[in-house]
Amino acid sequence: MCPPAETNGTNGHVNGTVNGTNGNHEGYSAIQTNQNPHPHSSSPYRPVGDFLSNVSRFKIIESTLREGEQFANAYFDLEAKMKIAQALDDFGVDYIELTSPAASEQSRLDCEAICRLKNEKFKTAKILTHVRCHMDDARIAVETGVDGVDVVIGTSSYLREHSHGKDMTYIKNTAIEVIEFVKSKGLEIRFSSEDSFRSDLVDLLSIYSAVDKIGVNRVGIADTVGCASPRQVYDLVRTLRGVVHCDIETHFHNDSGCAIANAYCALEAGATHIDTSVLGIGERNGITPLGGLMARMIVADRDYVLSKYNVKKLKEIEDMVADYVEVNIPFNNYITGFCAFTHKAGIHAKAILNNPSTYEIINPADFGMSRYVHFASRLTGWNAIKSRADQLDLQMTDAQIKLCTAKIKALADVRKIAIDDTDSIIRAFYHNLHSQEERPLLEGLSAEEVKKFQIAEEKEKAELTGTKEKRQLEEQVEAEAEVPATKKTRTAAVA
Ligand SMILES: N[C@@H](CCCC[NH3+])C(=O)O
Ligand SMILES: [Zn+2]
């Protein structure tokens, strides 16, 4: 009998229940690895510091409960809002932005309830609400108990002509009135343009300079249509940084795929705050995702990110929001996508097993995630099979493992194989070494498939070893099989 499939903590995973937290790996052929020997010192890829950059001191304005409510599938009742807000505070975001209390009566009541929750329970997050740059909205907002009010108004000609119909003089005068009013109530105030990247630069700088002079806390730049490139962002923020003294908040839509890169460039150019939402949900295809920003920033300054944000909570928050808005976590999601830390090709697997830094820039353990090495495909290499055999507690020599790997690859050339197939081949191979009794390796295959397998196996072996070397390997395997299997000390093959 072959030994029981003791799997070094991976049994749940390989059988379909997820042992780590990477989400749905059901039926997925991978070894969960255990150690994380990433260097604990800061990444060698730290950005070159300069006097403008805020990459190492940025703040997050989390807008799942405002921008995110504008996502097509979003409907948050008060209970959902409370749970999301609490989770975001646990995560450590600096601000939570809420839908305008002027939007509806329930929005106003929800805003008040979350302000009470904050007073009772929050550790970090301040509450903001986001309203039109208008006195009517501002009057409602200041009565809700928020810490600050974010006002916004469109400044591009598109929005001035086709949305609110006001000119720049009106915008400036209203902004000044609203800012002075909110400040008089002792609250924080941010003034943001909308569609900033399609607005006239002189108009923008002139209004930002005016509101800065009367003591606005932050000005905001918004790429409302997601048209900006990182270089345009850098230019605009850097120019603005030279004009105002207050903080600079930035807000990036992701229509053309630059929302995270733009956020990063904005910080490099001197922005202080980044707007995010969980999974990036928002109007159309959304904005800078919280998780994606964390991925970017942990590569830039791991110490800052880990000292400030409880990033191990990321998966939990994403799952919660995904449930509420009834979407799946995308397979390629930053950090939490099901294959974000799964390595497949033989060359990658080998290097990862030696040292994960070879093919990973982010340490999954920082986020409470697990790394996996795929071991059931035609790309699988013998190092991955060796690890898997170790996990199954089947000790074999490297020569034996190589021949066993050839069998696995050969079968994977015939059909898609699963964990169970790989494990069966490994077990059967091991068993045959020690008992001479044939195992039903090819059970379930048609005669044609068996033939194909045998040809593929021959080719694999020939490619693996060359004919002469193959003979030597086989002799070695036979010789080793005669020695009773000794239980070797387990090596840390799984890194
Ligand atoms: N969702 C709006 C709001 C901008 C305010 C920035 N915090 C936009 O994209 O323009
Ligand atoms: Zn937006």
Instruction: Name the residue of 251, 255, 287 to mutate for ligand 1: max ligand atoms within 8 A of Cβ.
Output: 251
- Position 16 confidence tier, pLDDT thresholds 50, 70, 90: very low
Q: Which domains does the chain have, with CATH numbers?
A: 11-33+343-482 (no CATH), 59-325 (3.20.20.70)
pLDDT at 117 over 90: yes
In a 3-state reduction of DSSP, which class is residue 174?
A: helix
Collect all residues with Cβ–Cβ distance below 8 Å to 447 and sequence separation of at least 6. none
- Position 21 confidence tier, pLDDT thresholds 50, 70, 90: very low
| 426 in Cβ contact with 2 (< 8 Å) | no
pLDDT at 483 over 50: no
- Termini Cα distance of the chain: 29
pLDDT at 14 over 70: no
How far is residue 69 from each of residues 73, 193, 281, 286, 444, measured CA to CA in Å?
8, 20, 8, 11, 51
Q: Give the pLDDT confidence score for residue 297 in this predicted structure.
A: 98
- Position 468 confidence tier, pLDDT thresholds 50, 70, 90: low
Rounded to whole angstroms, how far apart are CA atoms 391 and 389?
Answer: 5
Q: Give the pLDDT confidence score for residue 455 in this predicted structure.
A: 81
| 211 in Cβ contact with 191 (< 8 Å) | yes
- Number of other residues whose CB lies within 10 A of the CB of residue 198: 17
Collect all residues with Cβ–Cβ distance below 8 Å to 409 and sequence separation of at least 6. 378, 380, 456, 460
| 65 in Cβ contact with 283 (< 8 Å) | no
Rounded to whole angstroms, how far apart are CA atoms 89 and 118?
Answer: 9
Residue 127 per-residue DSSP state? E
State mean pLDDT over 452-460: 78
| 195 CA to centre of ligand 1 in angstroms | 8
Per-residue pLDDT reduced to its tens digit, 138-176: 999 999 999 999 999 888 777 767 777 787 788 899 999
| 225 CA to centre of ligand 2 in angstroms | 8
Rounded to whole angstroms, how far apart are CA atoms 111 and 104?
Answer: 11
Instruction: Name the residue of 194, 272, 273 to mutate for ligand 1: max ligand atoms within 8 A of Cβ.
Output: 194
- Position 398 confidence tier, pLDDT thresholds 50, 70, 90: very high
Handedness of CA 264, 276, 224, 200 (dihedral sign): negative
Residue 167 per-residue DSSP state? -
Ligand 2 (ion): which residues have CB within 5 A? 67
Minimum-distance ligand to the CA of 281? 2
| Alpha helices, DSSP H, located in 185-229 | 201-213
Q: Which residue has the higher pLDDT, 450 or 401?
A: 401
Per-residue pLDDT reduced to its tens digit, 304-326: 999 999 999 999 999 999 999 99
| 357 in Cβ contact with 39 (< 8 Å) | yes
Query: Can you tell me which atom of ligand 1 is nearest the CA of 283?
Result: 1
Per-residue pLDDT reduced to its tens digit, 56-70: 999 999 999 999 999
| 320 CA to centre of ligand 2 in angstroms | 22
ipTM: 0.97
| 146 in Cβ contact with 115 (< 8 Å) | yes
State mean pLDDT over 465-479: 63
